[in-house]
Structures are given as C-alpha cells and as structure tokens.
Amino acid sequence: MTTVVYGIKNCDTIKKALKWLDTNEITYTFHDYRKDGLSSQLLTQLMTTADPQLMLNKRSTSFRALSAEQKENLTNETLSQLFLETPTLIKRPLLITDSNHLLGFKADQYQAFFNE
C-alpha cells in the first residue's frame, strides 16, 4: 500500500502524525507543500480524493486572515484558488493511500484506518 502524507513540515499535527507512522512502522512519503510545491494538477487530484469543504482548515491563522467576502464565497472553485495561493489553508495532515484518505490526525483514527 502506498501512503502519502501532505502538509507542512513545521506543523505540530504533522509531527505527531509522522511520529505515529514511524512508531507503527508504516512506510510513507511526505509531501511538504512549501518545499515540494502544490501544483494545480496535484490540487485537483487531492480535491477529487477528499471533500474540498472538509479540506479547509478554519482554525488556521491563514483562514482568519481571509476577508469576510472571501469567507462568504467558499465554493470549490474559490477554494481551489485559495489553496493554490495559500496551501496552509488545507487541513493537515491529508493522508492518502491507494484506496482511502484521512484528514487531520488522531491516533485512534490512524490505528483503525491502518487496521482495516
């Protein structure tokens, strides 16, 4: 099974998720939006796999920095543009395997996910 974790390296939640994966000896690839980039092609793939509305990290500083007008117009199309401009708006981590995905990190969810 191929596992890819998407996020930014300095995120505390990413650090917890990667530590959990390492501890449980799960092989993965880490894709850092800042280092590895976020192309429109990759974003389209991610938004096809996960619900774009659920991908939006409403607790992030980046979200709080959006204007009221931007927050009122959060269609999938506008989210796509916002995600490309500011990848930190994407909830972290986004973990994708061959057949499934998870948004965010909770140890018990990861345990259940990898025991399926």
Interval 77-87: pLDDT, tens:
999 999 999 99
Distance between CA atoms of residues 111 and 35, nearest Å: 28
Interval 13-67: pLDDT, tens:
999 999 999 999 999 999 999 999 999 999 999 999 999 999 999 999 999 999 9
Q: Which of 52, 46, 62, 60 is nearest to 95 (CA)?
A: 46
Task: Say whether pTM exceeds 0.85.
Answer: yes
Per the annotation, the verdict on 11 as an active-site residue is: yes
Domain spanning 3-115, CATH class: alpha beta
CB–CB of 32/11 below 8 Å?
A: no
Catalytic residue among 5, 11, 18, 82: 11
